[in-house]
Amino acid sequence: MLRNFFANRPDLKSPREISMMREAGKLVSSALKICRGMVKPGITTIDIDKTVEDFYKQNNALPLFKGYPGKVPFPAVTCISVNEQVVHGIPGGKVLREGDILKIDTACKLNGWCADAAISVPVGLISDEKKRLIDVGEQVLQIAIKELSRCKWWSEVAFKMQKTAEDAGFSVVTQYVGHGIGKLMHEFPQVPNYVNREVKKQDFKLEEGLVLAVEPMINMGRAETEVLRDHWTVVTRDGLPSVHVEHTLALTKEGVYVLTAEEELIIKI
């Protein structure tokens, strides 16, 4: 989940704090693994959401999306977006169909620390172009993971992310960005997946202790989006499909620690 307001400076995390965030990240990863296993034609999005809500309750974790403030409070523990829905889709009675692209985003707080992640999943058999869109979305996220410890400034990483998406013939959503994360789900800095003059003005240095929720949103068509009347669901303006993937990443002395990976994963410097 994304927000457009943040504090003024990064809150760098200690190794101990990062290890606590990893515990929250394990739960988010497990929740998304459960979701992935549920995705098939005929299931409703609310079924997936209720399962994640029960999972967090069983593990004494606080779901961070439910009740999140906006024009109306967000009503669910997951954002579930289908096809042209980019992010912030509200789970409900919608039945998944063969050929859909499903995006599931969720976050929780455990023992005072947050983690946030998202996946894009095919529903049954999908077209080759939709599969390529998912693959490119994953590639863009992997570039961020790989380059985070190699670059000095975030804009260098964002440039490489944007170039990968655009070289594949797709576009990067610019209205929504990732974010710092820690004791709060949304902390400074804003983490765009693209570069322009304004992004360079707000650039930030990549340093040990930085923890970011990096979440590229890649559209098959044009980058422009709009929000539906429910005040939450973001859709592509041209109606073409979109993908959204996300990991919570910590920059450590050893390298990039993927806090929401299923298995322990540190990408060495």
Residue-wise pLDDT tens digits, 102-132: 999 999 999 999 999 999 999 999 999 999 9
Question: Would you say residue 6 lies in a domain?
Answer: no
Global pTM value: 0.95
pLDDT attached to residue 8: 59
Question: Would you say residue 177 lies in a domain?
Answer: yes
Question: Would you say residue 8 lies in a domain?
Answer: no
What CATH number is attached to the domain comprising 167? 3.90.230.10
Question: Would you say residue 2 lies in a domain?
Answer: no
- Residue 200: CB atoms within 10 A of its CB come to 13
- Cα–Cα dist 133/168, whole Å: 9
- Cα–Cα dist 199/95, whole Å: 39
- Cα–Cα dist 35/27, whole Å: 12
Reference 32, options 269, 265, 264, 261; nearest CA is: 261
Tokens standing for 33? Answer: 């693994």
- Cα–Cα dist 227/124, whole Å: 27
pLDDT attached to residue 6: 44
User: Are 3 and 95 a contacting pair, CB within 8 Å?
Assistant: no
Position 2 pLDDT exceeds 60: no
pLDDT in tens, 15-69: 999 999 999 999 999 999 999 999 999 999 999 999 999 999 999 999 999 999 9
pLDDT in tens, 159-175: 999 999 999 999 999 99
Question: Would you say residue 236 lies in a domain?
Answer: yes
Question: Would you say residue 3 lies in a domain?
Answer: no
pLDDT in tens, 172-223: 999 999 999 999 999 999 999 999 988 888 999 999 999 999 999 999 999 9
pLDDT attached to residue 7: 45
The HSE-up count of residue 170 (CA atoms within 13 Å, CB side) is: 31
Question: Would you say residue 4 lies in a domain?
Answer: no
Domain that holds residue 206: 15-268
For residue 147, the SS3 value is helix
Position 5 pLDDT exceeds 80: no
Q: How many domains does the chain have?
A: 1
Question: Would you say residue 134 lies in a domain?
Answer: yes
Helices (H) and strands (E) in the chain, counts: 5, 16
pLDDT attached to residue 1: 58
